[in-house]
Amino acid sequence: MQTFTIHHHGVRVAVSRGGRGQLMVLCPGLNSTQADLHELAESLREDYDVVTFDLRGHGLSSAADDYTFEAFLSDLAAVMLDLGRLDLAAASVLVGYSLGADLAVHFASEHPDTVAALVLIDGANPVPEPLISDALLPQFRAMWEAMAAQQVSERDTSQQVRLTGQEILDLNVEVDVIRSGILDRYRRIDLPTSMIMSTSMAGTGNEGPAPRLNRAWRAGVERLLRDQPHIVTSWIDADHGLPFTHAREIARIIRSTPGSAARGGPSNAR
């Protein structure tokens, strides 16, 4: 296992690399770190040369002044550029979770020659309506303020998240807007693409906003498949934390991803 740091625009991005086989880059999401994705990464290292990293303000990477979508996208781009210098002929399987899936789609739409295949885990979903409505803003703000307060106990560890509750809320509102136009990004991508989605992204409760959000989540995938029917989609009976609770099942699905060296035939359980 190698660990190293990439410096770009005043930010230090912590990177780990290990395994054997085709190059694979695993991009975490908002509020998740490479330490959180350890079980998934270790399962994949049996068949892939897996690169994991921490986004700015997460894990072992440094804090920053800018936590916008474009800023996080620049972290992924810096990692991919550095790998491109090390492995000049190697296009990677790019795996993104949650926000990381959105980053992966945007990166692949701009740099298709550096990506062999896309795997998108519970993100990059062109939902037909914003997930964070005006009515839900106070509830989401309180939830993420509480989450940020709990994160204080993780400071200076591999699982820390330095963002404030307001910064988390602002980014999620921004991502809602970005997802409203993400179909245009998909139309620019001519790569094998797989999605691994949760059946209960917002939780399993029948009260509150969860049922509406879960319906919108599935409707977004259905919208995408009408526009891009070649995308292979698998559903896992889980909530949004599926990489933490179903890591080995996700690794098995990824191994069957079209365009990956370890594939054993595509999964298409819609």
Token pair in block for residue 267: 């999964």
Q: What is the pLDDT of residue 94?
A: 97
Contacts of 137 (CB under 8 A, 6+ apart): 169
pLDDT at residue 241, as a whole number: 98
CATH number at 2-128+179-255: 3.40.50.1820
HSE of 63 in the Cβ direction (CA atoms, 13 Å)? Answer: 9
pLDDT at 263 (0 to 100): 39
118 near 257, Cβ under 8 Å? Answer: no
Q: Can you give the residue ranges of every domain in the chain?
A: 2-128+179-255
Cα(120)–Cα(29) distance, integer angstroms: 11
- Position 84 scores a pLDDT of 86
Q: How many CB atoms lie within 10 A of CB 90?
A: 13
The tokens describing 204, both together, are 């399993």
Pair of tokens at residue 160: 């820390």
Q: Which residues lie closer than 8 Å to 6 by C-beta, 6 or more apart? A: 12, 13, 15, 53, 78, 79, 82
Tens digit of pLDDT at every position of the chain (270 positions): 999 999 999 999 999 999 999 999 999 999 999 999 999 999 999 999 999 999 999 999 999 999 999 999 999 999 999 998 877 557 899 999 999 999 999 999 999 999 999 999 999 999 999 999 999 999 999 999 999 999 888 888 999 999 999 999 999 999 999 999 999 999 999 999 999 999 999 999 888 999 999 999 999 999 999 999 999 999 999 999 999 999 999 999 999 877 776 633 333 332
Q: Which of 1, 29, 22 is nearest to 168 (CA)?
A: 29
Question: Hey, is 36 helix, strand or coil?
Answer: coil
Q: Which residues pair with 24 in a beta bridge?
A: 50, 93
Q: Specify the pLDDT at position 3.
A: 97
Provide the pLDDT for residue 88: 58
Q: What is the pLDDT of residue 262?
A: 61
Q: For residues 29 and 33, what is the distance between their CA atoms, to the nearest angstrom?
A: 7
Predicted model pTM: 0.94
